[in-house]
Copies of this chain bind each other. A is one copy, B any other.
């Protein structure tokens, strides 16, 4: 069984989710932030700051968006625990990639051959977190799993 093709970060999010989350925390919603939030929610793959900036500028609801504003908005979302910052095994460079947090936790598999990142949800992952909480007396807020290896097509290509 193949994993579910390419990751679709925002597919289960209600429209305007991030914006309403921020608004409910009395965070001011500016035109620029609205654009950046929408870009992150609508992303069909993990985006880094550069990609978010490009898409925000392409969107152009009338407002321009500066690179610094992207970083500051990402910082805001991180502070409120609304996005996860991922490294995806540095398969695509040294920067960070972002995805909205409130989804069910999942792990990322990065193929060292083709660079494709796919996702997987596992009940064992949940159990593992419970075990850690219990045995280590550690209050788990979030968990990231990044797995490196080779996908089926790359293995076949090599053989």
A residues engaging B (CB < 8 A)? 1-3, 85, 87, 89-90, 107, 109, 111-112, 118, 120, 122, 124-125, 127-129, 131-133, 135-152, 155
The residue that A145 contacts in the complex, of B87, B141, B143, B155, with Cβ under 8 A, is B143
Report the minimum CB–CB distance from A67 to chain B (whole Å).
16
In the complex the two chains form, is B2's CB within 8 Å of A136's CB?
yes
In the complex the two chains form, is B146's CB within 8 Å of A143's CB?
yes
Main secondary structure of the interface of A (DSSP, over half): mixed
In the complex the two chains form, is A147's CB within 8 Å of B140's CB?
yes
Tallying the copies of this chain within the complex gives 2
The residue that A90 contacts in the complex, of B85, B124, B128, B148, with Cβ under 8 A, is B85
In the complex the two chains form, is B144's CB within 8 Å of A149's CB?
no
Closest to A128 in B: B124
In the complex the two chains form, is A128's CB within 8 Å of B122's CB?
yes
Rounded to whole angstroms, the CA-CA distance of A15 and B152 in the bound complex is: 37
Closest to A4 in B: B136
Report the minimum CB–CB distance from A122 to chain B (whole Å).
6
In the complex the two chains form, is B131's CB within 8 Å of A122's CB?
yes
Rounded to whole angstroms, the CA-CA distance of A87 and B135 in the bound complex is: 24
Rounded to whole angstroms, the CA-CA distance of A90 and B141 in the bound complex is: 15
Rounded to whole angstroms, the CA-CA distance of A145 and B122 in the bound complex is: 14
Pick 13 A–B contacts, CB within 8 A, sort by A.
A109-B138, A122-B131, A122-B132, A132-B147, A133-B149, A137-B151, A138-B151, A138-B152, A141-B150, A142-B148, A143-B146, A143-B148, A144-B147
